[in-house]
């Protein structure tokens, strides 16, 4: 199956700093990638849809200036958490549509801790 690689798998940063998370499709081209946030023992909440070569589409309630998304190529999307605060601590997961555009394959996730 298609492979999606997410990096880093975990990161600890200080309040006020920015953190970049990368999501790569390793063996296929992904025109669309999705970013989710998951709190402990909860479901995945879609944050935004990342489209190659255009601006991301954010879900209601997600601050686009805080969560910057860039999808500069067909294999890479990045999520930058700007001016991170402890409440931004969470598990972030990306996914990319598969070749047939039917399912979605997920990265390994990134555990962000803001101290």
Residue 39 burial (C-beta neighbours within 10 Å; 0-12, 13-18, 19+): exposed
User: Taking the complex as a whole, how short is the minimal distance between the CB of residue 104 and another protein, in angstroms?
Assistant: 6
Which residues of the chain form contacts with another protein (CB under 8 A)?
Answer: 1, 32, 34, 38, 42-44, 46, 49, 91, 93, 95, 97, 101-106, 108-109
Q: Which is nearer to another protein, 8 or 16 (CB)?
A: 8
- Which residue, 44 or 82, is less far from another protein as judged by CB? 44
Other CB atoms within 10 A of residue 38 CB: 15
How far is Cα 19 from Cα 40, in angstroms, rounded to an integer?
A: 20
Q: What's the count of helices (H) and strands (E) in the chain, helices before strands?
A: 0, 11
Closest CA to 53 of 36, 28, 30, 35: 30
Torsion of CA 115, 20, 42, 36, to 10 degrees: 160
Shortest distance, position 113 Cβ to another protein, whole Å: 15
When the beta carbons of 96 and 114 are compared against another protein, the nearer one is 96
With respect to another protein, which residue has the nearer C-beta, 82 or 104? 104
The nearest distance, CB 58 to another protein, in angstroms, is 12
CB of 14 to another protein, least distance (A): 24
């Amino acid at each position: 199956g298609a492979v999606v690689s997410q990096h880093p798998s975990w990161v600890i940063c200080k309040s006020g700093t920015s953190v970049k998370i990368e999501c790569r499709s390793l063996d296929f081209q992904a025109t669309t990638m999705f970013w989710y946030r998951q709190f402990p023992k909860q479901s995945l909440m879609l944050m935004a849809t990342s489209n190659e070569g255009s601006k991301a589409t954010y879900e209601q309630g997600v601050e686009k200036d805080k969560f910057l998304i860039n999808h500069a190529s067909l294999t890479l999307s990045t999520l930058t958490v700007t001016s991170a605060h402890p409440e931004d601590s969470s598990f972030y997961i990306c996914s990319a549509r598969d070749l047939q555009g039917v399912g979605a394959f997920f990265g390994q996730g990134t555990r962000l801790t803001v101290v």
